[in-house]
Structure 1
Amino acid sequence: MGVPHLANEVLKYSKNCRYLRRILKDTLNHLEEITKEKFFHKDNDGKLEVSPTELHEMNRILDRPPAIFVFGQSRASRNFLVNEILGRQLLPLLSTPQEATAPLKVLVLKQDGKIPPNIIETLSKNCTPLTWSEIMMEESEVGNRVEYKEVHVPHLLFRDDGKMFVVPELTGKVTNSISEFVKKSAPVFVYVVKGSVLSEVELAEVRELRRAFGSIPICFVSSVWLAPPDLTESDQDQFEYNMGNLMTNDSFERRKSWTQNGPIDKHRSNKPSAVDSVLVKQVADAGYQITLPGTRTRQISAGNGYSQIVIGFESLPNLNIFARRQFQLRLVKCATVLTEVHDRCLRLFVLSAFDVARSIQITPRRILFAKRQEDQLYQNLMTLTTGKHDEIRSIIVETAALKREDLLEMARNYKFPGVDDSEDSGYEDSHPMSSQEVEKHTEVIQELVLGALNKAVAAQLVDSIDVYRKSVIGTLQRCVEALEEDDEEHDHRAHDSLKQILNAAYQVQVSVRSSTSFVSTFFEQLLQLIMQIVLPWNAPPKPDREWRANVAAETLDSLNPSRLARGVCHQLCERLRESHEAFQQSMRQLEARLNGQLERCEEIGQRMRRYHAPRLARLSLEAVSLKDSATYGVPALGREIGRGQYGVVFACDTWAGYTPCAVKTVVPPDDKHWSDLAMEFYYSRTVPEHDRIVSLRGSVIDHTYGQGSAPAVYLIMDRLSRDLYDALKLGLSWFSRLQIALDVVQGIRFLHSQGLIHRDIKLKNVLLDKSNRAKITDLGFCKPEAMISGSIVGTPIHMAPELLSGHYDSAVDVYAFGVLLWYICAGSVRLPYVFEQCRNKDQLWSCVKRGARPEYLSCFDENCWQLMQDCWAGDPAKRPLLGAVETRLDQILEKSKQENLGYEGGPEVVETDHDADSLSSSPYIDIDIKDD
């Protein structure tokens, strides 16, 4: 049937486009749903959207159906290639030399309606070749466009809106018309070379394609018949005419047989020749990158890919590979953009979860701190204020005495507004003041003196307590500001009340616009007292320098520092008390609002962890798997090398250039298992490559598994030699075991540095390479601490006591390592005695809940035993940090080398009926009670 696989490639591309379009639609709907829930801060809303650029780029790929564009100077060769692709003689070959120059428009091969069920029978019996009268049209142009003829063909190639364009010799108008179709499709360009090299006309046409369509690659196909190169042009036309008659006058099936064994073979190049290299050079000089058929690359180019040369129609299956590569490039580009959107949103989920967890922990502490600090501040200020009487009195007296002469001189030199009282004017001698002017000018001098005195007293009083203000108030003020910043209502009453306290106590500004201090308030009232003083004037005074100095002096002398100091202290205490009560009331209201917000955040956070993040992670898994499948294909499964609770592990020789590989196959039975697998895949994929962690290389979803009843997910990772369980059974040296322990600690430390908790450290999850260096595997239970919501997972004998409560942190991995170290030091897979006694699920759980620990063995190094005990301490806070664990293991290893324990250390393997493998494979050991 010609090139049957090309239709399969087109159909598979259309199917994958529909698949990606569904993922994109679900992603957009899901992000819109998350935005409506208003879980994220408004500043992050933009990160939860698919940008217009991303959306345009994906739609530009997904909304364009596949199309095959056939170019070439030889009409017979073009038609022959189309017939080969369709597997039937649809287009006629030339019957007369005159028809070789007959006008022909662009042919658009397409399909109307659905393909009939009996497609093969329909193609073989009911379809006859079209005549020239059916496809030829009179010259007709509309503007700068060339008319085209649609030919409806029932063929699989056109089932999903696919098309094929048979393009005549290129002209400017033809190029413009074709450009419209190229822009609206996923194009695959095929250029049929009339001979074995490009003629001058063909080379010019190829350059025109390069100019018009940029870097779109082309598959160059030489004709099935190759005229001898020494023929003249007219003889070559005659040769083509004879070959056309031969092909037209025989049945399609018989003609196909002839193309393999008949007389055409004598004119066909069966092997690449020197002429082929000329064609390669011509194509390269035209600006196209060339890859030879069968060339395999580790990764698909990020650009439009490479062009290809196919010599002879018997090599047409290479056209399938070329088309597949072009479709893959588009699919990979779209899937990559979609994956970037998923990764960006999932990262935001994780970071927001950390922010919420931090807020839940720190907000109550901040509130308690603010209350205690303010109350302590209030008590200290009240004590300080009541004892300030003598200090304020002393400041007033000392300042008045020190500044007296300066204040009197300032009063003498004061110029009343609108009054020329200079010595030359004679105003003072000729204009004694009336009683109203005396009162007015007296007030002016008093305000002048008291204002200056106010500044001097305030400066000294502020200096006396400024150190206390800086040391106490800054932290409290920042704490209150942080709490109010977290408040959705942004109510700053608590902050304002605190400012009132600070204003009353420390002479600081109430607000930006206000510079009033309690000292200025004090002098305002002082001014009112002085205003009541009646000065006994014997005669109307003159506003001279001495009179102004006398008014200033009498103002200073009339001050009563003791009485004013008592008034100031009383006023200050009242203001402190009012501000304190206002602050306490504001904090109670703020606390109620914040607690309500935290409860809502926790509810939304639970929904984010249990629903939104897994759902988006599944979409990400599907997009990445399609990209990996399109790029590298489905891995070839070898022998079974492992089996767990959730999947089977197979060997794989090579995939995506990585060798050897292990393929973990999982068939999720329901949405919850899909969610768990998707989150595992996301965390595993985002962990940077590290020497102590088994790397995840990719994933593929096999939708044909189980005849399509339930898709299987393949997780491809590096394959190592064996796991620690098998290695201990066969025996390891003491140095090797210590090195493995160090490797495991380094691996766990790296996971913790990425914000992840493994939660299932055990023998089976430690793999060894050929040099017995360890790597941690199986990140199925691995999660960030903030994304854990009461989940109880793991292997019971390795589970820390607090893990059973659902509230735990990374210290559970330290506990699990302590148990793992027991096995490493024992050099055996025999269960600890306390667990060996458990015969059923209830006994095991009861033992774990009681906090049972493995026993001491006589072969243990004392330092190792002490390290185990420290690691599995019941109180997580008492367990050592992994950095300290690594240091202690290093010291133990160095000490062992110095004592030359060598390879003789370590006990022999003890086989029992209840070893770690038999229990860990039983249903009550490897449990998964997941509430995430």
Structure 2
Amino acid sequence: MTSLSAELNRFCEFSKRTKQILDETKSCFDDINESGNSELGSLFKAELLREEEQEILDIAQRPPGIVILGQNSYSKFKIVNEIFNNGIFPVINSAGHDDLPFRMVRFRHGESLSYSLALPDDYEIVDHLDAYREQSKTVPLKDLQIHSADKASDSAILEISYNHVILRQGAQIIVAPSHGEINKVYKTCTESVSPILVYSFSDDLSDEEIETLQNLQEISQYESVCFIRVPKCKQYLTNGESPNNNSTNLTTDSIKDNVSSSSSRKIERTLDKVNGNPRPQSHSLIGKNKMTILKNTKVYEQLCDLGYLNENPTCRNTRRSFLSDYYETESDLIDNFESHSYRFNMFVQQTLQRYLVNSSTVLNNSHSRCLSMFIMSAFDMARDMLITPKKLMFAREKEVELYKSLMRISVAKTNEIREMIGSTIAENQNMLVQKAADYEFLGTLSRCLESLERIDKDHANENSTSEALKQIVNAAYQVEISLQSSSSFVRTLFERMKQLVQSMPWNSQPKIDLEWKKKLATDILSNLSEARLAKSISGQIKERLNKSHDAFAMALRQLEQKHTGRLDKIEEERLKLRKIHAPKVAKVALESTSIKDTILHGMPHMGREIGRGQYGVVYSCDSWAGCQPCAIKSVVPPDEKHWNDLALEFYYTKNIPEHERVVALRGSVIDYTYGGGTNPAVLLVMDRLVRDLYGAIKQGLDWISRLVVAVDVVEGMRFLHSQGLVHRDIKLKNVLLDKANRAKITDLGFCKPEAMMSGSIVGTPIHMAPELFTGRYDNSVDVYAFGILFWYICAGHVKLPTAFERCDNKDHLWTGVKKGLRPERLAVFDTDCWELMQECWDGEPLKRPLLGDVQTRCIPVMQLALAIRYPAVMQFRIPAVAVILLAQETICTAAYNLHRKQLVC
């Protein structure tokens, strides 16, 4: 019971921690959403789904409760007595009391033993219980039974306060009532606790009990159940005394040490394997730590048919997998509780682990979803800031091209327009003259003239008609006619008519008849100038083009100003996202995933120190989470900024898909007790390899193996870049080698998605590209760093290049690098290797080769090295993909000794 109490206390502690992380998450998300709602709208939104929050609270706010169901009251009471290791319930004969209705009983912690009847609505019934009238050492049967005469107390729950180590951290033990529908019973018993279901039985299951268990599966959503067989009772007791309770005392002093020393030692030895470090390794406890079940019993067959048990414990129970949570436990069958009580403890432990792991998983999923959204938003913002100026520049350039092209066309087409006008007039002269004569506007002029003539007869002034006609015609033809609105030459004719009328002396009143109209139209057509008309049309086109061009330029400037302001605000939001929001969410994400790793695998056992860096100490670890050997990086963040940086490092590294050229980060654990609890330590668990490249070269790693390492490093870098990540600290000590001298990239502390980089100057000085000092760089800085790394690989030693060694300090080195200072060429370098280095560390990022090209160019160098060392092997045509494998000395030596036919095979 001591171990069971420890598990319950552990559950309560982790529940409080989960609730605390949930509160921090909600506060963080509220700040993010409030900040994200700017003038530009909602750029990003962090969301914790209501269902997720409720699922977490259902576990974090509810204490664990062992809910005991069973065939009869005898079997349930027997289990309670075994759990408490005390005869608090009377031992009754199941046959004699099966028809008696027993009420629900709930055990809570209390300093002294006390009883009360409580209604479901939290009202307490004022009643004189037999427990207060009788000085009994067990709960009186009358208090457990439901009295039909007293209907008010039928639904009351017997609350028992009991000072026991299991109940001290808020845990409860709930005994289901003996009567009632399973739906209502289950809801009442589990509504305020995180249930651990126990079903006790003494006989084989009846048809009614099988149906009840089937309904329980659906109601509980296939919750796992611990089935416990209890021995049949051989006595029928009516006095409320258990047969072996003479020495039992329920006082506080006697409860503290109520487990015999021999059984306690036996239980603790067994539980050491379960509760010790490390914890069970799998994320699912299906088939784990299960004792061999007695398969020759009828109950076992019945439970297998129901789907509670599985005939093959190592296989997944498909009947409940579609409703299962992230972390699963299987039901168990205990044939003898007294002999195998530790299995009950194991079941409780696994069920509590399931609750904690699932709640932390739900919480961590919300964090990961938010951080993924941040990364995508950062990429969108970066793309917007990159593309928008280019779009504006493109629009300006293309409009200028279009404007110039149309201006050239307007000049080039002037002669064509003139010729077209002349040919059109010549071909359609008769038709145009007739249309001009019949044009409705001349009829209007005629009617106006007739009106004026009638007016002239009434008045003495003989010049009034001609003056009125002149004014009318001038007014009519002062209207500017747009060629764009009509292509009819009739309007052109009237333009000429206006000019002709204006030039007339008007000495005599004209007689406007059909002949006059035709003659006037003919004169106008004959006097039209095709050149002037064409020039006029081209001039109007140019004028309109100039106006449109100026209007476009002004509108584009306004649009550019608007986007400039918008992009400035986007950059501010992107900076807040990178510097404030993402680190805060990463911190709570680190805590939530650390809770899950701690529950599943426990605290790692740190061995000897194997390394020390600027931000932490690295220890060895034999095994953790099923991985061996491991390395533990212990970091104690001194302030909030370091906490956030470490959390982001963990998030980016943990979410990288596993790759054979990148050291995997297996998990994390936060030691809240470190430094007295004032300054927790973060333990990052990763794979441990044999040595780093610095030590390997120093110890004389051969040339072919160094070339293999170079190709491995390029492959690892290509993988990181394919994930949108930039390492930013490629160097000798961040390349680890295994027993076969195959390389993996490690220490992703500076590794970030390109869109999330803030332009910080990070890395190792001699490996830092010049553009790093400007704050604007991309993944080509890794290519530059590889060029320096390749210099060491080809040199075969770890001494600084002479050019760098002459620099007095980092500032001097950086100044030289910005001016073009690079490592010198050594005599051992061949032309291909030297050219590859030079291209990789080129000062212009765009001139550096792509990593795919680098890898391709390393293959011929390796083939040449193999041909020199193993000429007999390299006389065959070996594919490029096999060169790296053959480069390992053990393989090459074996191949060298093979017969030619065997090698070909």
- TM-score tier (shorter): 0.7 to 0.9
User: Is structure 2 residue 760 aligned with structure 1 residue 736?
Assistant: no
User: Is structure 2 residue 220 aligned with structure 1 residue 222?
Assistant: no
Partners of 1:294 and 1:319 in 2: how far apart? 19
Report the equivalent of 2:794: 825
Instruction: Read off the aligned partner of 1:188 and give its amino acid letter.
Output: I
**Cα distance change on mapping 1:39 and 1:756 into 2, 3 Å:** farther
**Cα distance change on mapping 1:619 and 1:411 into 2, 3 Å:** farther
- CA shift for structure 1 position 159: 5.4
Report the equivalent of 2:217: 210
Instruction: Read off the aligned partner of 1:520 and give its amino acid letter.
Output: S
Report the equivalent of 1:150: 159
Report the equivalent of 2:30: 32
Report the equivalent of 2:197: 189
User: Is structure 2 residue 337 aligned with structure 1 residue 312?
Assistant: yes
CA contact (8 A) 1:700 1:713 kept: yes
CA contact (8 A) 2:176 2:189 kept: no
1:528-568 deviations in whole A, cap 9, x for unaligned?
64896999764799xxxxx9x99999998897654443333
Which range moved further: 185-194 or 138-147? 138-147
- CA shift for structure 1 position 777: 0.9
1:83-130 deviations in whole A, cap 9, x for unaligned?
4434555434449996676432011223579999xxxxxxxxx99643
Partners of 1:35 and 1:148 in 2: how far apart? 46
CA contact (8 A) 1:641 1:650 kept: yes
Identity %: 40
- Give the one of 677, 683, 689 matched to 1:714: 683
Report the equivalent of 1:251: 248
Partners of 1:795 and 1:199 in 2: how far apart? 74
Report the equivalent of 1:520: 485
- CA shift for structure 1 position 582: 2.0
Report the equivalent of 2:187: 179
CA contact (8 A) 1:97 1:241 kept: no
Partners of 2:695 and 2:200 in 1: how far apart? 60
Partners of 2:560 and 2:80 in 1: how far apart? 77
- CA shift for structure 1 position 735: 1.3
Partners of 1:439 and 1:316 in 2: how far apart? 123
CA contact (8 A) 2:138 2:240 kept: no
CA contact (8 A) 1:97 1:237 kept: no
Report the equivalent of 2:470: none
Which range moved further: 811-820 or 831-840? 831-840
1:859-884 deviations in whole A, cap 9, x for unaligned?
33332223223222333333322222
Report the equivalent of 2:309: 289
Report the equivalent of 2:64: 66
Task: In structure 1, list runs of 5 or more residues that go unmatched.
Answer: 117-125, 228-235, 262-270, 417-432, 441-515, 542-546, 904-932
**Cα distance change on mapping 1:376 and 1:846 into 2, 3 Å:** closer
Report the equivalent of 1:163: 172
TM-score, normalised relative to structure 2: 0.74
**Cα distance change on mapping 1:192 and 1:409 into 2, 3 Å:** farther
Report the equivalent of 2:48: 50
CA contact (8 A) 1:759 1:793 kept: yes
1:656-676 deviations in whole A, cap 9, x for unaligned?
333333222222121111111
1:457-497 deviations in whole A, cap 9, x for unaligned?
xxxxxxxxxxxxxxxxxxxxxxxxxxxxxxxxxxxxxxxxx
Report the equivalent of 1:700: 669
1:19-67 deviations in whole A, cap 9, x for unaligned?
3333333333323322333379989768632344444444454454432
1:825-877 deviations in whole A, cap 9, x for unaligned?
22223333344556766666666666543333333333222322322233333
Partners of 1:15 and 1:104 in 2: how far apart? 34
Superposed, 1:776-787 pairs within 5 Å as: 776-787=745-756
CA contact (8 A) 2:73 2:102 kept: no
Partners of 1:127 and 1:656 in 2: how far apart? 51
**Cα distance change on mapping 1:209 and 1:354 into 2, 3 Å:** closer
CA contact (8 A) 1:115 1:155 kept: no
Partners of 1:827 and 1:902 in 2: how far apart? 23
1:125-166 deviations in whole A, cap 9, x for unaligned?
x99643334444423798998442222335565556543220
Partners of 2:742 and 2:239 in 1: how far apart? 72
Partners of 2:380 and 2:661 in 1: how far apart? 29
Q: Helix, strand or coil: the match of 2:539?
A: helix
Partners of 2:647 and 2:482 in 1: how far apart? 63
- Give the one of 828, 853, 873 matched to 2:822: 853
- CA shift for structure 1 position 893: 0.9
User: Is structure 2 residue 649 aligned with structure 1 residue 680?
Assistant: yes
Report the equivalent of 2:571: 602
- CA shift for structure 1 position 715: 1.9
CA contact (8 A) 1:95 1:248 kept: no
- CA shift for structure 1 position 778: 1.0
CA contact (8 A) 1:76 1:244 kept: no
- CA shift for structure 1 position 823: 1.8
Instruction: Read off the aligned partner of 1:167 and give its amino acid letter.
Output: A
CA contact (8 A) 2:67 2:189 kept: no
- Give the one of 567, 575, 583 matched to 1:614: 583
Q: Helix, strand or coil: the match of 1:313?
A: coil
**Cα distance change on mapping 1:839 and 1:348 into 2, 3 Å:** same
Partners of 1:518 and 1:18 in 2: how far apart? 83
- CA shift for structure 1 position 753: 1.9
Partners of 1:409 and 1:326 in 2: how far apart? 104
Partners of 1:82 and 1:107 in 2: how far apart? 11
Partners of 1:817 and 1:115 in 2: how far apart? 73
Report the equivalent of 2:353: 328
Partners of 1:329 and 1:853 in 2: how far apart? 57
CA contact (8 A) 1:111 1:159 kept: yes
Report the equivalent of 2:455: none
User: Is structure 2 residue 73 aligned with structure 1 residue 75?
Assistant: yes
**Cα distance change on mapping 1:698 and 1:435 into 2, 3 Å:** same
Partners of 2:311 and 2:812 in 1: how far apart? 66
Report the equivalent of 1:806: 775
CA contact (8 A) 2:90 2:242 kept: no
Superposed, 1:316-715 pairs within 5 Å as: 316-399=341-424, 435=443, 519-520=484-485, 523=488, 526=492, 529=495, 538=513, 561-715=530-684
Which range moved further: 351-360 or 762-771? 351-360
**Cα distance change on mapping 1:84 and 1:682 into 2, 3 Å:** same
CA contact (8 A) 1:792 1:806 kept: yes
Q: Helix, strand or coil: the match of 2:869?
A: coil
- CA shift for structure 1 position 372: 4.2
1:349-371 deviations in whole A, cap 9, x for unaligned?
22332333333344334434433
CA contact (8 A) 1:222 1:313 kept: no
Partners of 1:405 and 1:628 in 2: how far apart? 99
- Give the one of 754, 762, 786 matched to 2:731: 762
- CA shift for structure 1 position 768: 1.4
**Cα distance change on mapping 1:289 and 1:636 into 2, 3 Å:** farther
- CA shift for structure 1 position 522: 5.7
- CA shift for structure 1 position 303: 6.3
Report the equivalent of 1:466: none
CA contact (8 A) 2:783 2:851 kept: yes
Instruction: Read off the aligned partner of 2:672 and give its amino acid letter.
Output: H
Partners of 2:755 and 2:303 in 1: how far apart? 57
Q: Helix, strand or coil: the match of 1:49?
A: coil
Partners of 1:551 and 1:247 in 2: how far apart? 140
Report the equivalent of 1:302: 326
Partners of 2:621 and 2:825 in 1: how far apart? 42
Instruction: Read off the aligned partner of 2:326 and give its amino acid letter.
Output: A
- Give the one of 846, 854, 860 matched to 1:885: 854
Report the equivalent of 1:458: none
**Cα distance change on mapping 1:162 and 1:644 into 2, 3 Å:** same
- CA shift for structure 1 position 81: 2.5
